[in-house]
């Protein structure tokens, strides 16, 4: 089959990152992530005999009209469209335009967390033929084979569609990919790797998927919708081979280890770190972790293996809010994790969310004071977003907290939750103030520059990101 895997642009030219549960503007961190899901999917489909084109329009700066012109030339049989909640209206618009232009000959398949939850509504759009539910790679492969052979679509696990009588069909749930080494290493020659650069020094970087799945049940998190709750990981040997390939074939030495929570299995992390050192790989990377998963041995090991920044989901500086969102961590664990990471020589990023149910001005103030007391290098304050698939979404619907059903507003710099004790507008205002206070502090600005800028071109790259960041704030 002639297959196109598409990341459509936004009609308003806002650049959005769409990678699993990460759905945010480029301005949030000043970078676009290399699209590991669509490249892995494309490699798998190509390795199985399909002709594959990948178009990451936001990254390449391709406009809607340019995208449509190139699709007219490709004339794909199937278009797999990468989606997210805040972009879904534009993703659907792209699907409509492709259908119309290609005389309804292209089969449109949506994937991502949003269609995994919202498929009954999306399938009523007459431009959507299938939605993939959950982990997309092997479902995309099986679906392409079934379409090609005209075999029974009911046998393709993990899809939803409307049958000939417009009745919703949801096939058997797809089992998670237990042996992740069965997935091919992403072939980055599908895309221009020059489009994916770090914000502080403008160097190229790539995502490397190390593990998937998280067993926790935080009320605001939709990660399980995509990757389930069973932790799975690739073998150390495969990850090392992929890192070597990326260094040798693409000259890229900066990486983001991509996982719901990288440090879930200490033994695996220590083995990987030793293997990176033993392979003589001179690389720099970043990762994330729950605060309760780290200890001095692990922090020292990741630092020695090239990690320079670790991100922790701090979420709140108020223990009762942490309990209410089911994060299952304590304020002491957060303090301890930040302290041992700093002692190991790592820069530390804190992800903080305000505007959860029960939040008050006082609990937000607790969070601000707590965050200030930590030796963090970077902080990102977000508004709590009730993404479909989360407990927070169900609670928001049941309690009538939602201020809008416009999915474009479901972005972390916008609150869509009105509570009796605090309104969405005030949550947004406080978040903006917190961001400005943090990033306009002269001490922080000087520390960031000293720690991350080593040459004039880095400074230029850094300064060029500031307008987008301020717009996002």
| Helix-helix angle 64-74:88-101, to 10 degrees | 40
Minimum CB–partner distance for residue 384 and ligand SF4 (Å): 12
Minimum CB–partner distance for residue 269 and ligand SF4 (Å): 16
With H, G, I as helix, E, B as strand and everything else as coil, classify residue 34.
coil
Among residues 52 and 221, whose Cβ is nearest to ligand SF4?
221
Q: What are the angstrom distances between the C-alpha of 276 and each of 14, 281, 285, 316, 340?
A: 37, 6, 11, 34, 22
260 binds ligand SF4 (CB under 6 A): yes
Minimum CB–partner distance for residue 248 and ligand SF4 (Å): 32
Non-local (6+) Cβ contacts of 65 within 8 A are none
Among residues 109 and 341, whose Cβ is nearest to ligand SF4?
341
Give the per-residue contact string, 262-281, with ligand SF4 (x = CB under 6 A; - = no).
Answer: --------------------
Give the per-residue contact string, 349-378, with ligand SF4 (x = CB under 6 A; - = no).
Answer: ------------------------------
Give the per-residue contact string, 172-211, with ligand SF4 (x = CB under 6 A; - = no).
Answer: ----------------------------------------
DSSP symbols for 92-139: HHHHHHHHHHTTT-SEEEEESHHHHHHHHHHTTSTT--EEE-S--HHH
Q: What are the angstrom distances between the C-alpha of 136 and each of 38, 51, 109, 145, 290?
A: 9, 18, 11, 14, 25
Among residues 11 and 229, whose Cβ is nearest to ligand SF4?
229
Among residues 92 and 113, whose Cβ is nearest to ligand SF4?
113
Among residues 143 and 221, whose Cβ is nearest to ligand SF4?
221
Minimum CB–partner distance for residue 344 and ligand SF4 (Å): 21
Give the per-residue contact string, 128-167, with ligand SF4 (x = CB under 6 A; - = no).
Answer: ----------------------------------------
Q: Which residue intervals of 130-229 are DSSP H helices?
A: 137-149, 223-227
Minimum CB–partner distance for residue 361 and ligand SF4 (Å): 25
Among residues 187 and 260, whose Cβ is nearest to ligand SF4?
260
Give the per-residue contact string, 207-236, with ligand SF4 (x = CB under 6 A; - = no).
Answer: -------x-x-x--x-x-------------
Residues in the chain: 473
Of 40, 48, 346, residue with least CA distance to 188 = 40
Minimum CB–partner distance for residue 218 and ligand SF4 (Å): 3
Minimum CB–partner distance for residue 262 and ligand SF4 (Å): 10
Rounded distance between C-alpha atoms, residue 162 and residue 147, angstroms: 15
Minimum CB–partner distance for residue 4 and ligand SF4 (Å): 31
Among residues 193 and 222, whose Cβ is nearest to ligand SF4?
222
With H, G, I as helix, E, B as strand and everything else as coil, classify residue 161.
strand
Rounded distance between C-alpha atoms, residue 267 and residue 49, angstroms: 37
Among residues 187 and 359, whose Cβ is nearest to ligand SF4?
359
Is-contact 321 370, C-beta < 8 A?
no
Minimum CB–partner distance for residue 214 and ligand SF4 (Å): 3
Sheet containing 78-82, strands listed edge to edge, beginning at the edge strand earlier in sequence: 51-56, 2-7, 78-82, 107-111, 130-132, 159-162, 168-170
| Helix-helix angle 113-122:88-101, to 10 degrees | 60
Among 242, 261, 359, 411, binds ligand SF4 (CB under 6 A): 261
Buried b (16+ CB within 10 A) or exposed e, 357-393: bebeeebbebbbebbeebebbbbbbbbbbbbbbbbbb
Minimum CB–partner distance for residue 78 and ligand SF4 (Å): 31
45 binds ligand SF4 (CB under 6 A): no
With H, G, I as helix, E, B as strand and everything else as coil, classify residue 209.
strand
Query: CB-based burial of residue 145 (10 Å sphere; 0-12 exposed, 13-18 middle, 19+ buried)?
Result: middle
Rounded distance between C-alpha atoms, residue 110 and residue 465, angstroms: 31
Minimum CB–partner distance for residue 328 and ligand SF4 (Å): 8
311 binds ligand SF4 (CB under 6 A): no
Query: CB-based burial of residue 126 (10 Å sphere; 0-12 exposed, 13-18 middle, 19+ buried)?
Result: exposed
Among residues 39 and 221, whose Cβ is nearest to ligand SF4?
221
Among 25, 26, 50, 290, binds ligand SF4 (CB under 6 A): 290
Minimum CB–partner distance for residue 288 and ligand SF4 (Å): 8
Name the E strands within 355-416: 378-383
Q: What are the angstrom distances between the C-alpha of 131 and each of 139, 157, 223, 283, 419?
A: 10, 11, 17, 38, 33
Among residues 228 and 468, whose Cβ is nearest to ligand SF4?
228
* Count of residues interacting with ligand SF4 (CB under 6 A): 9
Interface positions with ligand SF4 (CB under 6 A): 214, 216, 218, 221, 223, 260-261, 290, 313
């Amino acid at each position: 089959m002639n297959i196109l895997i598409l990341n459509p642009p936004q009609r308003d030219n806002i650049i959005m990152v769409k990678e699993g549960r990460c759905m945010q503007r480029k301005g949030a961190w000043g970078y676009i992530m290399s699209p590991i899901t669509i490249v892995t999917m494309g490699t798998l489909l190509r390795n199985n005999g399909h002709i594959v084109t990948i178009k990451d329009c936001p990254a390449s700066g391709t406009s809607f009209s340019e995208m449509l012109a190139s699709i007219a030339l490709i004339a794909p049989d199937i278009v797999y469209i990468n989606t997210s909640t805040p972009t879904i209206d534009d993703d659907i618009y792209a699907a409509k335009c492709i259908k119309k232009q290609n005389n309804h000959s292209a089969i449109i398949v949506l994937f991502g967390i949003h269609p995994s939850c919202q498929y009954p509504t999306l399938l009523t759009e007459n431009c959507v033929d299938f939605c993939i539910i959950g982990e997309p790679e092997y479902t995309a492969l099986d679906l392409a084979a079934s379409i090609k052979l005209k075999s029974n679509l009911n046998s393709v696990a993990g899809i939803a569609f409307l049958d000939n009588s417009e009745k919703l069909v949801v096939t058997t749930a797809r089992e998670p990919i237990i042996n992740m080494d069965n997935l091919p290493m992403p072939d980055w020659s599908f895309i221009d790797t020059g489009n994916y650069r770090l914000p502080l020094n403008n160097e190229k970087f790539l995502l490397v998927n190390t593990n998937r799945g998280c067993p926790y049940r935080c009320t605001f998190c939709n990660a399980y919708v995509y990757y389930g709750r069973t932790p799975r990981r690739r073998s150390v040997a495969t990850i090392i081979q992929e890192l070597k390939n990326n260094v040798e074939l693409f000259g890229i030495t900066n990486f983001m280890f991509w996982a719901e929570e990288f440090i879930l299995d200490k033994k695996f992390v220590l083995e990987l770190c030793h293997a990176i050192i033993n392979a003589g790989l001179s690389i720099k990377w970043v990762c994330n972790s729950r605060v309760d998963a780290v200890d001095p041995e692990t922090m020292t090991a990741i630092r020695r293996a090239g990690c320079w920044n670790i991100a922790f989901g701090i979420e709140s500086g108020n223990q009762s809010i942490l309990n209410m969102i089911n994060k299952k961590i304590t304020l002491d664990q957060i303090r301890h994790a930040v302290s041992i990471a700093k002692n190991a020589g790592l820069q530390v990023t804190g992800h903080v969310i305000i505007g959860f149910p029960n939040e008050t001005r006082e609990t937000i103030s607790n969070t601000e004071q707590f965050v200030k007391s930590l030796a963090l290098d970077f902080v990102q304050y977000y508004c709590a977003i009730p993404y479909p698939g989360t407990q927070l979404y169900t609670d928001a619907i049941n309690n009538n907290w939602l201020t809008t059903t416009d999915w474009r507003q479901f972005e972390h710099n916008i609150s869509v939750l009105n509570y009796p004790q605090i309104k969405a507008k005030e949550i947004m205002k406080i978040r903006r103030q917190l961001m400005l206070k943090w990033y306009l502090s002269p001490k922080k600005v000087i520390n960031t520059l000293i720690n991350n800028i080593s040459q004039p071109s880095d400074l230029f790259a850094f300064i060029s990101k500031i307008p987008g960041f301020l717009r996002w704030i």
